[in-house]
Homo-oligomer: A and B are copies of this chain.
Amino acid sequence: MRTRRGPYAKSAERRQQIVEQAYRAFATRGYHGSSLREIAAASGISLSNLQHHFATKEELLVTVLTRRDEQGHGAVSGRQGLPFREHVLAQAAANEGVPGLIALYSILSAEAVTQEHPGHAYFAERYEALREEYEAEFSTLRAQGRLRPGVEPALAATTVIALWEGVQLQWLYAPDRVDAGAALRAYLDLVIVPQADAL
């Protein structure tokens, strides 16, 4: 038995298709290097048809980024009660299954450094929010006597985010030789004291 699909369902499907092609384009050529014309062609529709769904490339970029957030990329979501260290390592392992997503974030976060880029506010806020969240995690560990003496929660937060993104980029170049999870684990084990040895 097939579900009957009205014009709304078709439109939602078409939008989804466009967003997927935009995602691919942005992940390989960046925002500036992608055109609505190419994205329309890859979606098998005309430019004017695409523009009926997304009037501008900016709108498409914002949709790509917010959809990914809704689907659970990011630090907070999907935490599922795991302790911080385990959550980071589980997320790093999951990221190995989505190299396209890693490429998308790598290229857009670098491109969006300039104030004029339509993704600038998104990434500036994302880094700010991640740093705050991770700093709170390290502060909690410190309160539990589980942060190595001398380790600064704010600096450790900045470091985990930086190391994570940097090592994922190296991994995209050399997946056989770079192990992002191992690098993160080694760092976390340098700064976090095991539960049993809490200070």
On A, residues with C-beta under 8 Å from B are 28-34, 103, 106-107, 109-111, 113-114, 123-124, 127-128, 131, 148, 151-152, 155-156, 158-159, 161-167, 169-170, 172-174, 177-179, 182-183, 186-187, 190-191
Contacts and interface: CB of A to CB of B under 8 A. Distances in A.
A155 B186 CA distance: 8
Of the candidates A31, A110, A123, the one having the most CB atoms from chain B within 10 angstroms of its own CB is A110
A167 B158 contact: yes
Q: Is the interface of A mostly helix, strand, loop or mixed?
A: helix
Q: Tell me the number of copies of this protein.
A: 2
Contacts of A186: 151-152, 155-156, 159
B111 A107 contact: yes
Nearest to A28: B114
A174 B128 contact: yes
Contacts of A159: 163, 167, 183, 186-187
Contacts of A187: 159, 187
Contacts of A158: 167, 170, 178, 183
Contacts of A166: 161-166
A39 to B, nearest CB: 14
Contacts of A110: 30, 103, 106-107, 109-111, 169
